[in-house]
Structure formats: structure tokens, C-alpha cells
Structure 1
Amino acid sequence: MSDKIIKNLKGEKMRENKGFTLLELLVVIVILSLLAALLVPKLTGRLGEAKIDTTKIQLKEVKRALEMYKVDNGTYPTTEQGLKALVKKPDTPPVPKKWKQYLEKVPKDAWGNELIYIYPSDKHPFELKSAGPDGEVGTEDDISVWDE
């Protein structure tokens, strides 16, 4: 055998261990499984909260860009022009006279869905929102830039 014979402090001969026993590996696997069972639900809840927070931040950034657009051009982009007007100069009326690029690209929400933009809006100067985690517009999990 390739195991080396070594002496312990008392001078007794012992074999040097080269690895773990199957029982030791099983115990470690059980412990890791228990930890995962306890921690994964907590972490996934945090992930959902983080996606909501990320989407709120994105909405605020787009809102700032829309406000700068209005300052420069006297009006917000129309619903037809959409948020693309913040990235590329619109060629549909009203064509902005002092257009600049306000965003590098139009962001999506944290779930990969397009943001919803409507101008004019009934309650606010414009409506800017995400359909939320379920991806369906008009449900209670929608996230609006006006909600705080």
C-alpha cells in the first residue's frame, strides 16, 4: 500500500490518512443541505425586494431624463414617441428643437420588461411605471414612479 507509516507523539506506529470516509462526506452534505434549506427562502425574499428597489431607481432616473427633455424642448415626448425619444431624436411631431441624448439606452425593469410610458396622463404630467414582478399591467404589484 501507498499509505505511509508514521509515529505519533507516544512513539506508536500509525497510518497517515489520505482522505475522508464516506460517512464524513455524508455528514457534511447533510449539514450543507440543512443550511441551504434555511437560507435559500430568506435570500430569495431579499432578491425580490432588491428587484423592486432596482426598478424604482431606474424609474427615477428615467423621470429625471424626461424632466430634462421637457426643460430643453418645452414638452415631454408623446406616448407615440415613447421613451426612445430620450435615446434617439424623434422624427414624429412634435419634433424637438433642442434635443440632446438624455439616456444611453432605454432601461427595462428588473424582470426584463419594457417600462410603460404615457403622455399626457390624467393624474400626473406623465405616467411612468413597471408592470412589476408578475409582468401584467393593472395589477396591484405595478410600480409607478409617483408611488413613494
Structure 2
Amino acid sequence: MLGKLWQRITGTDDDNQEGVTLIEITIVIVIIGLLASIIGPRVIGNVDKAKVAKAQLEIKNFSTALENYAIDVGSYPVTEEGLIALWQVPDNSVNWSGPYVTDPTFNDPWNNPYIFTSPGSHYGYDFDLASYGKDGAEGGESFNADITNWTESENLGP
């Protein structure tokens, strides 16, 4: 049946019939739907994994940029100055040698702003940097989990 359908679609059918019937179109749509239902979830899952990996990489890159900023300026930007201090000179900043980032976009892969707090409140960190994940809310699991520059086990202290 599929061979005959293919002949009709490609116009190589020996019969003198023209066009494709509604049943043939329906069969093709059902086949496409089945393929999409099998492949779709795998692709969507990979997109979410890629976004988590991108957020982790961006937090590492921002952390490095903040370290470079602190080396030049002598301190980290405060919360009120925000990550934009990596891109443009903050008021009253001496020895600023930036920009320290190549792109002034400070949103995570889910288009939520990264959370920057300085001084940091987690053990051993001068600043806190976080993405709240896919759901944009603090906490969560899997793709909704927070992505941070610290880990919860480090939060316990010595």
C-alpha cells in the first residue's frame, strides 16, 4: 500500500488517476504524527539539558569575570551595582579595566535574570550567583533546580 502511495505522490503511478485521496493524506499525517511523538520528547529533553549546561557555563564565566573585576578594582561590585558593572563602568570606580564580558546580556537560558548578591551569604564565597532554573522559582528539582556558584554541601561550613 505504501509503495502505491509513494508512486501516486511522486507521479510515477502507471494508472491515469490524478491527485491523492483523503485517505492517503490521512495515512501520511498519522505516520508523521507517530514519528513526532517518538522523537519530540527526546529532542525537548536534550534542549533542557543544553540550557542547564549553558547556565552552568555562564555562571562560571561570570565568576571569572567578577574575579578579574575584583583584581582590577580591589573589590567585587555590590548587589546594587549588579552584573552590569562587568560591562560598563560603575560610578566612583577606580582602575576599572573592562568590559569583563563580551555580551551585556545577564539573563539565563530561560530568559530570567541571573541572581547576583555581593557580599555573598554562602560559606566561603564573596558573592552569590544563581539561576533559578527552568521554572524561575527558587528551589526545585531536575530542570527546575537552582544552578549556583556554590553547592549546598559547602553551605554547611567547616
Task: Give the Cα separation in 2 of the matches to 1:21 and 1:138.
Answer: 53
| Kept after mapping to 1: 8 A contact 2:131/2:146 | yes
Matches within 5 A, 1:1-148: 15-91=15-91, 95-103=93-101, 104-122=103-121, 123=123, 124-140=125-141, 141-147=145-151
1:86: Cα distance to partner? 0.5
For these two proteins, the number of residue pairs brought into alignment is 132
Identity in percent: 37
1:120: Cα distance to partner? 1.3
Deviations 1:75-102, CA, capped at 9 Å, x for gaps: 111111110100111115xx23333211
Structure having the larger proportion of residues in helix: 2
- How large is the Cα RMSD of the aligned pairs? 1.9
Task: Give the Cα separation in 1 of the matches to 2:18 and 2:58.
Answer: 54
5+ unaligned residues in a row in structure 1: which ranges? 1-13
| Kept after mapping to 1: 8 A contact 2:83/2:106 | no
TM-score, normalized by length of structure 1? 0.78
1:127: Cα distance to partner? 0.6
